[in-house]
Structure 1
């Protein structure tokens, strides 16, 4: 469903669809991270993808450890792969709020973290079901912010795919890995190359 069609749905249905897109985009991101994890171990099989931990954070941390030791001579590429892992982890954290928190169309005023917040049309609220130090229990969100999470997950998926592709010897992924990547609603991405030209 494209964004124009989405806008024709009643608001609760829009939220249901967008949360579904967040879940779908997160699965793609998880798959891309597992692919990178396998590639960093020198493997490229389905079994290698499945042998990684089920826990996202553990897999991301293991990728960070392995890339630190990976024989990547180009320091720009090395840094870009590390940055791709970090930004993917940040995108996954954003996904967590939409997947694990209660989404509500309205809450009591005393629950809103910013007492000066003026309610806007389209405001929804994510209510954390578990406490986390330093994180408010209620967050004001809009549908556009949720859509932005889909777009971010898509961009980070492509960055991880580029990292895996580059490490597999397909240097055509270099321009995406070093570029400015913009995810799209449909799971695709565009990018503008921003790195230095390789020495031949």
Structure 2
């Protein structure tokens, strides 16, 4: 039952994030039903294409009534596609090198998507959640995922992974939300939902 509730939070959060992304790039974005799993840290890099897969990771620390971290990850190709859509790049630039402006746009995309997700979580649970300024990195998935694993590995080894596929008429991309609340915060989320 708790797992079903976490899955529903994932569905609503991902839906709101897709709507926010649609409005941001001023284009219709469709989303498939997200896949929601509670996984151990060591399993996460396999889900996002392997430890050596080059990804964009945007990390937020969470404070308020919930402590922990949230990360939004996409592979570099998916990130490039979203940046091209947002900036109206018609030549469909495929370079894995981003300009300053593109990095800023990418950071903003991550900020909007994660903000929409956190906002729906806060609304559903009636819990105050504030997030830090986003930290963005482009690196191998294993390196990026080592940050929350080191930080939170001492208090728990599980993360809530919400894998969602969204896209426009040109292509679909996978995005990964990884929510890593402290053990205490998991309890607060579940009890706020009456579980």
Same fold (TM over 0.5): no
TM-score by length of 1: 0.30
Higher relative contact order (CA 8 A, sep 6+): 2
Structure with greater strand percent: 2
Q: Larger Cα Rg: Structure 1 or Structure 2?
A: 1
Normalized per residue, the structure richer in helix is: 1
TM-score for both structures, normalised by structure 2: 0.30
